[in-house]
Amino acid sequence: EPEVTQTPSHQVTQMGQEVILRCVPISNHLYFYWYRQILGQKVEFLVSFYNNEISEKSEIFDDQFSVERPDGSNFTLKIRSTKLEDSAMYFCASSGDMGQGYTFGSGTRLTVV
């Protein structure tokens, strides 16, 4: 069964450093997403990406965040200058044209120290 692959599974970074979280969505999916889940809390939408541009973003997705699809297979989330409160599980997801088929990756646990 096709899956969404995320790397790394766990990343520890110093406050103020830049991090890049990587995702390989399902190849024939058209929409890509990043969500985050602070420990013990609900999953929150960050951004969606379609046709090589951001289609929607939440208020969480401020100027320190950016997304990119650099090579047609990878989909990345960059956090420019990490803060302690960025510590969370970050999930990548992708979906096809129809609304049902969301597939989540297994997540990257980001710890900012």
Q: Which is nearer to other proteins, 66 or 103 (CB)?
A: 103
Q: Of 71, 64, 60, which is closest to residue 25 (Cα–Cα)?
A: 71
Q: To the nearest whole angstrom, how small is the minimum distance from the Cβ of residue 77 to other proteins? A: 15
Write out the two tokens for 31: 């929409």
Chain center to CA of 99: 19
CB nearer to other proteins: give 3 or 18. 3
End-to-end CA distance of the chain: 36
In the complex, which residues of this chain contact other proteins (CB under 8 A)?
31, 33, 35, 41-45, 48, 55-56, 58, 89, 91, 93, 95, 99-100, 102-107, 109
